[in-house]
Amino acid sequence: MLTVVAFIVALGLLIAVHEYGHYRVAVACGVKVLRFSVGFGKTVYRWQPKGSPTEFVIGAFPLGGYVKMLDEREGPVDAAERHLAFNNKPLRMRAAVVAAGPAANLLLAIFLYSLVNWIGVQEPKAVLASPVAGSVAETAGLRGGETVRKAGFVDEDLHEVHSFEDLRWLLTRGALDGRNVRLEVATSANSAAREVMLPLSNVDASQADARLFRKVGILGPWTQPLIGETVAGSAAEKSGLRQGDVVLALGDTPVVDGLQLREAIRASVQDGKPLSKPWRIDRAGQVQVIMVTPEVRQEAGAAVGRIGAYVGAPPGMVSVSYGPIEGLRNGVVRTWEVSMLTLRMMGKMVTGESSLKNLSGPLTIADYAGKSASLGLTQYLVFLALISVSLGVLNLLPLPVLDGGHLMYYLWEGVTGKSVSDTWMERLQRGGVALLLVMMSIALFNDVTRLFG
Distance separating alpha carbons of residues 148 and 146, to the nearest angstrom: 6
Distance separating alpha carbons of residues 335 and 321, to the nearest angstrom: 17
What's the gap between Cα 200 and its chain centre?
20
Distance separating alpha carbons of residues 22 and 392, to the nearest angstrom: 12
Cα 119-121-123 angle, rounded to 5 deg: 165
CB 312 within 8 A of CB 261: yes
Could you count the other beta carbons within 10 Å of the beta carbon of residue 154?
14
Distance separating alpha carbons of residues 20 and 194, to the nearest angstrom: 51
Residue tagged active-site, from 19, 123, 146, 184: 19
Distance separating alpha carbons of residues 123 and 374, to the nearest angstrom: 15
Burial 194-225 (b: 16+ CB within 10 A, else e): eebebebeebebbebeeebbebbbbbbbbbeb
Distance separating alpha carbons of residues 52 and 317, to the nearest angstrom: 52
Could you count the other beta carbons within 10 Å of the beta carbon of residue 104?
24
**Coil, helix or strand for 62?**
strand
Distance separating alpha carbons of residues 261 and 225, to the nearest angstrom: 7
In the residue annotation, 326 being an active-site residue is answered as no
Catalytic residue numbers read 19
